[in-house]
């Protein structure tokens, strides 16, 4: 049996038209050195039936329906376990990987077989109350290469590969890490990256071939989901640092600083909406940031602030966002 070079792994749940659009783009490429693997998490919108019909016509599409709903992290790990390719390329069901980009990456890896990890640029398709617009990715005209986590972090200014379709990794490296320790964080792929990245050979790929959807009703607009995901990011970092000594305290501090505003905002949301978030997760995060006073102090202040103050701050933030959206629409028109 000939195994594909790349497995594009899609954890799916009620994917509908978004998933169809992704498959249309990928399977339009007329070559057989890749596969698309979809793990359906008990969808109820007819998308599983549509997947089965499509898979019966194209052997490059492999689909499996979970016996029970696994949830985001477990389904993410499960779809990766089904892959047969030398590299895993993750994609959300509502994201888009363009066929010409897939072809370029396949051709690149066929020659650059020593590469362990590829970072892709991505544009954002933002849907809001004033319409939809595309936020272009930062332009990169030539590939950038490096070895090891610290060279990668110097290049990205400590930004981690949190957005799914920007993430390609050698399958053997992925499977060398116990992904289950990152369940409950919503960032298991980043935890695996940090554990595997000490001597990783990486490439930041030139060009823009990935588009991500930011819907108006996405997790960013759901206070409970936002808080769980924001706190999960911190929990993932702490767990990775415990297993990977190359994630030093200084490195951890830099990661925390980048996420400081999200943490403070999360505690505002918790106070205003009286959210009941898993106490173990809250404790894990508050203990993790305690040694870093510049992060722990504002987070603690907002966590224990009067609810009225949190509500006032959230109102001001929302007014500012609305004004920015209106100005963007005016500039485009």
Query: Distance between CA 247 and CA 255 in Å, rounded?
Result: 10
* Residue that finishes a domain, picked among 162, 192, 214: 214
Q: What letter does residue 124 receive in the DSSP assignment?
A: E
CA distance 210 to 194: 23
Q: Are 125 and 213 in contact (CB under 8 A)?
A: yes
Report CA Rg, the chain: 20
Q: 206: alpha, beta or left, given left = phi > 0 and alpha = psi -120 to 50?
A: beta
The answer to whether 129 touches 325, Cβ cutoff 8 Å, is: yes
Instruction: Indicate whether 274 belongs to any domain.
Output: yes
Burial of 75 (0-12, 13-18, 19+ CB in 10 A): buried
What distance lies between CA 203 and its chain's CA centroid?
18
Mark which of 164, 188, 214 sits at the end of a domain: 214
Q: Are 90 and 38 in contact (CB under 8 A)?
A: no
Question: Global pTM?
Answer: 0.90
Closest CA to 195 of 215, 169, 217, 219: 169
Both 186 and 247 in a single domain?
A: no
Q: Are residues 199 and 232 in the same domain?
A: no
The pLDDT tens digits along the chain (333 residues) read 578 999 999 999 998 888 999 999 999 999 999 999 999 999 999 889 999 999 999 999 999 999 999 998 999 999 999 999 999 999 999 899 999 999 999 999 999 999 999 999 988 777 666 566 667 767 788 999 999 999 999 999 999 999 989 999 999 999 999 999 999 999 999 999 999 999 999 999 999 999 887 666 666 778 899 999 999 999 999 999 999 999 999 999 999 999 999 999 999 999 999 999 999 999 999 999 999 999 999 999 989 988 888 888 888 877 776 666 656 655 555
- 1 within domain boundaries: no
Q: Are 194 and 152 in contact (CB under 8 A)?
A: no
Is residue 184, in this structure, part of any structural domain at all? Answer: yes
Residue with the two structure tokens 């690149």 = 108
For residues 25 and 137, membership in a common domain is answered with: yes
The answer to whether residues 33 and 153 belong to one domain is yes
> Whose structure tokens read 């102090």?
297
> 127 in helix, strand or coil?
strand
- Number of domains observed in the structure of the chain: 2
Residue 105 lies in a domain: yes
Distance of alpha carbon 116 from alpha carbon 137, whole angstroms:
23
Choose one of 195, 214, 233: the last residue of a domain.
Answer: 214
What residues make up the domain containing 80? 6-214
Is residue 19 domain-resident? yes
């Amino acid at each position: 049996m000939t195994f594909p070079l790349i497995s594009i792994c899609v954890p799916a749940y009620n994917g509908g038209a978004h998933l169809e659009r992704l498959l249309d783009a990928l399977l339009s490429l007329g070559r057989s050195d890749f596969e698309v693997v979809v793990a359906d998490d008990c969808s109820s919108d007819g998308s599983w039936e549509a997947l089965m019909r499509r898979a019966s016509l194209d052997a490059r599409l492999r689909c499996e329906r979970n016996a029970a709903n696994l949830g985001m992290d477990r389904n993410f790990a499960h779809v990766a376990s089904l892959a047969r390719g030398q590299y895993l390329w993750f994609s959300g069901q509502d994201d888009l990987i363009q066929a010409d980009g897939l072809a370029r990456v396949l051709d690149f890896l066929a020659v650059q077989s020593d590469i362990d990890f590829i970072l892709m640029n991505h544009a954002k398709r933002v849907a809001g109350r004033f319409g939809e617009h595309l936020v272009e990715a930062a332009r990169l005209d030539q590939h950038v290469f490096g070895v090891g986590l610290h060279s990668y972090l110097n290049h990205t200014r400590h930004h981690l590969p949190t957005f799914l379709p920007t993430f390609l990794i050698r399958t053997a490296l992925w499977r060398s890490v116990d992904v289950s320790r990152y369940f409950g964080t919503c960032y298991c792929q980043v935890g695996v990256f940090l554990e595997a990245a000490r001597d990783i050979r990486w490439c930041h790929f030139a060009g823009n071939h990935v588009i991500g959807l930011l819907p108006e009703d996405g997790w960013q607009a759901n206070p409970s989901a936002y808080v769980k995901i924001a706190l999960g990011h911190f929990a993932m970092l702490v767990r990775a640092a415990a297993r990977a000594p190359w994630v030093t305290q200084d490195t951890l501090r830099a990661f925390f600083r980048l996420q400081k505003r999200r943490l403070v905002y999360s505690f505002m949301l918790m106070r205003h909406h009286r959210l009941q978030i898993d106490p173990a997760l809250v404790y894990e995060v508050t203990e993790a940031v305690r040694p870093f006073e510049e992060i722990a102090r504002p987070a603690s202040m907002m966590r224990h602030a009067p609810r009225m103050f949190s509500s006032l701050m959230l109102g001001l933030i929302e007014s500012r966002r609305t004004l920015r959206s209106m100005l963007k629409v005016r500039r485009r028109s």
